[in-house]
Structure 1
């Protein structure tokens, strides 16, 4: 199979039929073998009924229905697990991503041998203050922190070689950082493509300003995981050694001063350096313990499914 189109959605019933027909038209005109995987992330409207109707008239349509809303990352993870295509395309269900971009994205993966191609919505049709400005600040911070030089981490329109989606773990709210996760796993051929962005045709956006706050917090998490996720002792051990060395230095200074310099001076416990030494050595020890616990957890963890599937179609 050439292409799997993975589409997470939440309450997008009005756009699904139009989106399906558009994707199918692009696929058939380019003679692609394909599947369209809709992941209903706990919709409360008739999105699932629409997906069922589409699957009845088109055998290429497949569906996954979550028991409740588990989040976009979990929806993508479920879609990636089921995808059979050599190239996986992700897009949002709100018709703001343009399916006409699919052939060129496919060519960049297959012919140009990229591992991942991320869309760049260079011209946006969103509110400047509520989405454009925060998005620019977020993307700047993501580039500086991750080292992945993309202009638009948040764009839902992306193309992946199948090896990428089968070897990364998308969880929590990490869907924004899939390129960073891919790079951390060794998939270094990552690029971007300017794509058309369209104004929302139906409904309202599901994302507010809080997503950028969560995004920056996730950025800190992904920075840590990409550098120390497989070796937490390297970070916590270094911090522990540094803090313990400071404390030990103060303790050594107090001991030498008491024994050889001011032998009849005040008690060691009456000097502020004593408490600095005590606190920093305790903190250093705690960092060491945190590092050991991190290593133990890393080596004994078992994978736990982070979502529950209620129904599946055509799998």
Structure 2
């Protein structure tokens, strides 16, 4: 079985040797053919030197180094593009995800036929306000909106069929909603597995209260982009048409009233200005739909990142 383990990281030099050694023990025990892709997301410590050293000792370990910090989504996207395994597994580099989960995550994909398995950290060891409250709120809201019955969308420990990661594009802060991206790409068999969550051994968390705002905006963006990115006219054009028709009907009613009673004014009545405003807004939204169609077809650089170095990846 060919498996790729994708590990995005930021300032995790202390945990990398232990993590890689743990992964190696697990995959060797089960006789998997594997590669580990470590993506350094602009670390300011010696993480890249550690990746270079680990890769020199084990050619199965590969590395990608960003020139600056782009975020976890960018790191995952580059890892997905480089992945060659039949099954792709993602995990965090902080040792809070257990590599011992790898065999079962692979089995659920290869034997049970799931397209994607998302981990569920049912028992957590980081019950802080900045992590727990945002996670609970966004997991609840994402379940309601996406209709995907997962408890922990943001868990970094996931497994995928190779076809899934090659069919989705992760950008901005969309890593929280990869199951939603997979569903909108046509992959319906998405499952969940309770996974072990471990206490952080080194360093500190990289997330804070900003997840409240970012998470809500990301969810709104992904639902809109997933549904209308290829057909923005269906969204803007529909609203614009409705607004224009409402304004037109109001104008016609005023004109009919004027014909029936010549003494009635038109331009001196509030409905006249409301109808004109509705027609103008409707026209603008309709044009926005046309512009959106043009922009959607001409955005080649949306997912372009400056990569300073690569190890073992063409």
Specify if TM > 0.5.
yes
CA RMSD of aligned residues (A): 1.2
Residue equivalent to 1:167: 167
Residue equivalent to 2:296: 298
Q: Which runs of 5+ in 2 are unaligned?
A: none
Residue equivalent to 2:41: 41
Q: CA deviation at 1:184?
A: 0.7
Residue equivalent to 1:282: 280
Distance 2:307 2:191 in 1: 33
Residue equivalent to 2:17: 17
Q: CA deviation at 1:304?
A: 4.5
Q: CA deviation at 1:130?
A: 2.2
Q: Any idea what SS the aligned residue of 2:293 has?
A: helix
Answer whether contact 1:39 1:65 (CA < 8 A) is retained.
yes
Q: CA deviation at 1:134?
A: 2.0
Residue equivalent to 2:263: 264
Q: CA deviation at 1:240?
A: 1.0
Distance 1:57 1:301 in 2: 40
Q: Any idea what SS the aligned residue of 1:310 has?
A: strand
Q: CA deviation at 1:305?
A: 4.0
Answer whether contact 1:10 1:41 (CA < 8 A) is retained.
yes
Which aligned pairs between 1:24-35 and structure 2 lie closer than 5 A?
Answer: 24-35=24-35
Distance 2:181 2:124 in 1: 26
2:305 to 295, 304, 307: 307
Answer whether contact 1:115 1:190 (CA < 8 A) is retained.
yes
Instruction: Tell me whether 130-139 or 148-157 shows the greater mean CA deviation.
Output: 130-139
Q: Any idea what SS the aligned residue of 1:204 has?
A: coil
Answer whether contact 1:74 1:306 (CA < 8 A) is retained.
no
Distance 1:179 1:125 in 2: 24
Distance 2:235 2:311 in 1: 45
Which string of whole-angstrom CA distances, capped at 9 and with x for unpartnered residues, describes residues 6-25 of structure 1?
A: 00000011111110111111
Instruction: Tell me whether 290-299 or 183-192 shows the greater mean CA deviation.
Output: 290-299
Q: Any idea what SS the aligned residue of 2:88 has?
A: strand
Residue equivalent to 1:52: 52
Q: CA deviation at 1:212?
A: 2.7
Residue equivalent to 1:84: 84
TM-score by length of 2: 0.97
